[in-house]
Amino acid sequence: MSAPSTGLRAVFSVAGAGLPVISFLARLPAALCPIGTLMMVTALDGIGRAGLVAGALWTGQAAGGPPIGRLADRRGHRPVILAASLANAASIAALVLAVLAGAPVAAQASLAALVGLTVPQVGPLSRTRWIVLTRSRPAGLTGRALSFDTMVDEVGFMIGPALAGAVVVLVHPVAGMVLAGALIAVFGVLFAVHPTAPPGTGRSTARAGTGLLSAGLWTLFAMAVLQGMVLGAANAGVSALAGRLGDSGAAGFVWGGMAVTSVLAGLFVTARPGPRDLTTRLRLAIAAQAALLLLLPWVDGWTGAVVALAGVGCAVAPHLIAVFGLAERAAPLARMGEAMALLGSGLIAGQGVAALVSGQLAERYGHGASFTFSCAAGAAAVAVALARVRRPAFPGAGAASAPELGSVRPA
């Protein structure tokens, strides 16, 4: 059996194949909703309103992650994810109806923010679940499980925008959001009630000696924000290039090429994590990404964009795998869901800020300015990694540093 198969088989042996499939389909709406909202409102009300409504959704998604993670840590995954999934599905339905009815932009933006706030954080809480499931297993399995789950995120954020675009073109402008609502209503609920859901610690345990924001976690949050800025600026640059070349539909395929190489790199890291410690792996990955980003400002056509972004993709998953792996060591286990959600919010916030700033730069100076902004964010990430990512800040596994979450049973 090949090494990748061996690595994945070890992960699947913990909870079966059902949990990864359910968690993938449950987290897909988080990737569907931003682009689905943008396309829906653009088609029915124009691009000006679409930017405001989609921006409100992103803002809500960034703000809602840590509180939902905190509640899941304290009250347990089952009630929190169940309530958030149902609320998210209802909010999506309300937003679709408001857009179809031509509601005022303030009403649409408010509902979009509610959609973002109620995203059930399946990705961060799935990583928490793997940590709980593997903490008593052989050494190295937690790292492989986190690597695999980060790769699942990459696949979701590759497929989500493409799927939203396809159903909008083939069915109706609201089809992407309707699909997102249906997926979260079904698979969000299934993820919530899955037997592996931890029961939570209770409020008093979460308050006793389990401080969250250590220096190490702040550093990882900064790394997540900067990674989001790298991706957001690169995406804006690709969109600006597509506009200049008169082929906006090709932008998704270029971005998909980067996602493919990132997924393949994630699979490799899952199967062969190597002997180096996570701090070294993070530094190597972020340095490689910064070097590969230097190709982007020279891009002036589709071939160059595909090659450059595919190269960058080779470093994205290894970097994020190291970030989430170090978070497992920097945060107390009793608040792991909140910590993972905080890093996810950092990624989203970084993308939103970079999309806003680099979009303005591209409009004034061309797509190369957006790509230069991406390079600057990558260089800043290298500086943070060299100055702040040090082994003493990540001394051990989260399970050893805090009161434990309740036990769970595999599927």
Per-residue model confidence (pLDDT) at position 365: 86
How does pLDDT run across 370-381, given as a tens digit for each residue? Answer: 899 999 999 999
Question: Measured between alpha carbons, how far is 212 from 42 in angstroms, rounded to an integer?
Answer: 40
Q: What is the mean pLDDT of residues 199-207?
A: 61
Q: Is the pLDDT of residue 5 over 70?
A: no
What whole-number percentage of the chain has pLDDT above 70? 86
250-271 vs 302-330: helix crossing angle, rounded to 10: 40
Please give the residue that has the higher pLDDT: either 137 or 307: 307
Alpha-carbon distances of 330 from 204, 261, 286, rounded to whole Å:
21, 28, 19
- The confidence score (pLDDT) of residue 206 equals 44
**Which region holds residue 24: left if phi is over 0, alpha if psi is between -120 and 50, else beta?**
alpha
Q: What is the mean pLDDT of the chain?
A: 82
pLDDT reported for residue 229: 92
DSSP at 272: -
* pLDDT classification of 211: cutoffs 50, 70, 90: low
Question: Which pLDDT band holds residue 248 (cuts at 50, 70, 90)?
Answer: low
Is the pLDDT at 347 greater than 60, yes or no?
Answer: yes
For 47-101, the pLDDT digits (tens) are 667 778 878 888 898 888 889 988 988 888 999 999 999 999 999 999 999 999 9
Note the helical H segments in 16-76.
18-45, 47-75
Pick from 36, 53, 26, 28: nearest CA to 174: 36
Amino acid at residue number 196? T
| Tokens 């970030």 sit on residue | 323
Q: In which band, very low, low, confident or very high, does the pLDDT at 402 lie, cut at 50, 70 and 90?
A: very low
pLDDT digits (tens, 9 = 90+) for 234-245: 887 887 787 777
For residue 4, pLDDT over 70 is answered with no
Short-list 326, 300, 261, CA closest to 131: 326
State mean pLDDT over 15-26: 86
Domains of the chain: 18-201 (1.20.1250.20), 212-396 (1.20.1250.20)
**Average confidence (pLDDT) over 178-206:** 84
What's the whole-number mean pLDDT along residues 379-406?
64
**pLDDT at position 47, please?**
62
Question: What pLDDT is attached to residue 249?
Answer: 58
Q: What is the mean pLDDT of residues 295-307?
A: 88
In this structure, the number of other CB atoms found within 10 A of the CB of residue 172 comes to: 15
**pLDDT digit string, tens, across residues 96-141:** 999 999 999 999 999 999 999 999 999 889 888 888 888 767 667 7
More confident residue, 272 or 292: 292
Confidence band for 406, pLDDT divided at 50, 70 and 90: very low
**Cβ neighbours for 108, distance < 8 A, ≥ 6 positions apart:** 41, 45, 49, 53, 95, 98, 99
